[in-house]
Amino acid sequence: MQDFWRLSGADVAALIRSKKISAKDAASAALARLDAVNPAINAVVDHRPEDVLAQARMVDAAIARNEEVGPLAGVPITVKVNIDQEGFATTNGLKLQRDVIARSNSPVIDSLRKAGAVILGRTNCPAFSYRWFTTNLIHGDTKNPRDPTITPGGSSGGAGAAVAAGIGHIAHGTDIAGSIRYPAYACGLHGLRPTVGRVAAFNASLPERTIGAQISAVSGPLARTIGDLRIALKAMSGKDLRDPWWVPAPLEGPAAPKRAALCLQPDGLETTPEVKAAVADAGKRLQRAGWTVEEVDTPPLREAADLQTKLWLGDSYEAQLAAAEREGDPGALACLRGNRSKVFPFDAAAFSKALTRRATLIRGWLHFLENYSVLLMPVSGELPFPDGLDMRDEKSFVRVWQAQLPQIAIPFLGLPALTVSTGLVGRIPVGVQVVSGRFREDLCMLAGEAIEAAGTPSAPIDPVA
């Protein structure tokens, strides 16, 4: 079996389109890689090999008929277990939802299939997708293939671990407070949180989302190259009337000056020396690529993060807590109970105040990003955490939430953001977060490609014991 799984998704798609290899070849290699490494990391928690090969045969048949098969022609990818895929359980890491079998696909699944992707398997997440760590009572623990003592990230921890270990070339993830950006950071990958409205969302198997999730939760890709993020975003962002927030925005906006802001300690974030060094290094890489980089203070982030937490966890808090108690998941309960004083009660007046304040905060950020094409800042105030750190004690719980300020705030502001892996500290990954204006994912990736090009490419690894 050839090691096609080592290649980028773009390279695999090109080989398949040119008939140098078949989609079945790529799928077989991906399944073999999954069998070889997934037992050590538990990234993929549901997959059906015969279905995978059937998808590949459909791509090969379309190519044989000289039909256009899309930007992800035959590329094996994974999807997170919290979105509907027909015939599969949408568990979201919950025993409570083990029997929630989707009868239709979510829009992102349909878009990926239309783009020619072969869906390899479904990846793990924490219960309710609440944490920056990935473990639950139905699927178990996911390990970081780079170092099992550190978190693979969450909530799309299975997605990050899978791509890092070469299980699929691209992974789908979701992000309401960092759940794409943090697994990319922890696993040494790139991960894109698109603008709200870019990628259509809907799960017919579950109740309608609350307003906080509607205006801040997104689907997006994780990959080992920025180029793969580009083709994945193109594939994911198809029109779908099931999502009233979907916007027909162009993937490429007007040319913008290569001017970047850089902030090592946004809104007073306590940032470790290793993280500061990584962000500063990313700024230097941009400068060498012809960008102007200016160190500045950002508009408010801390208030945005606090309000995002309230919208995410405070809306229907008692119902969320009751569900977590029925599930009995310790991490989910710790998340809700640990944040209770910050988010509850969240009455109609507080809800109105949060949404009103949101307009003011977004306006300030849009003005800021009119002057700078992108902002470079930390993904987290710390290197990836020791696995399970938030469960050690109250001090550790607070430490985790404080460090994640740059991730939590961005969804409240409705902005796109990209994690770019910049290297390793020992064997611990580190990276930088690139933020731009609404629907300017293209500028995030333009800067990301310059940062990526000046470093060591992210490559799939064998899990470390």
Identify the CATH number of the domain in which residue 114 sits: 3.90.1300.10
Given this model, what pLDDT does residue 328 score?
A: 98
Report residue 465's pLDDT band, with 50, 70 and 90 as the boundaries: confident
Return the axis-axis angle of helices 441-453 and 226-236, rounded to nearest 10°: 160
Q: Which residues contact 119 (CB under 8 A, 6 or more apart)?
A: 52, 55, 77, 78, 79, 85, 109, 112, 113
* Whether 153 contacts 134, CB under 8 Å: yes
In whole angstroms, what is the distance from residue 110 CA to residue 331 CA?
32
- Segment 317-364, tens digit of pLDDT: 999 999 999 999 999 999 999 999 999 999 999 999 999 999 999 999
Is there a domain that residue 458 lies in? no
Is there a domain that residue 361 lies in? yes
Is there a domain that residue 463 lies in? no
- In terms of DSSP bridges, do strands 428-435 and 417-425 run parallel, antiparallel, or are they unpaired? antiparallel
Is there a domain that residue 427 lies in? yes
Report residue 1's pLDDT band, with 50, 70 and 90 as the boundaries: low
Is 179 among the residues known to form the active site? yes
Please state whether the predicted TM-score (pTM) of the whole model is above 0.85. Answer: yes
Is 156 among the residues known to form the active site? no
Report residue 52's pLDDT band, with 50, 70 and 90 as the boundaries: very high
pLDDT average, residue stretch 173-199: 98
Is there a domain that residue 315 lies in? yes
Is there a domain that residue 257 lies in? yes
Query: Can you give the residue range of the structural domain that contains 85?
Result: 4-453
Annotated catalytic residue within 155, 156, 237, 436 = 155
Is there a domain that residue 441 lies in? yes
Annotated catalytic residue within 22, 129, 179, 237 = 179
In whole angstroms, what is the distance from residue 344 CA to residue 314 CA?
6
Q: Which two tokens stand for residue 115?
A: 């783009």
Is there a domain that residue 412 lies in? yes
pLDDT average, residue stretch 18-26: 97
Annotated catalytic residue within 22, 24, 80, 258 = 80
What are the Cα distances from residue 424, in Å, to 192, 274, 277, 350, 457?
Answer: 20, 10, 12, 42, 11
Is 380 among the residues known to form the active site? no
**Percent of the chain that is helix, strand, coil (3-state, to 5):** 45, 15, 40
Is the confidence at residue 101, as pLDDT, over 90? Answer: yes
pLDDT average, residue stretch 420-447: 98
pLDDT average, residue stretch 247-275: 98
- As for how many domains the chain has, the answer is 1
What are the Cα distances from residue 276, in Å, to 24, 273, 280, 406?
Answer: 45, 5, 6, 13
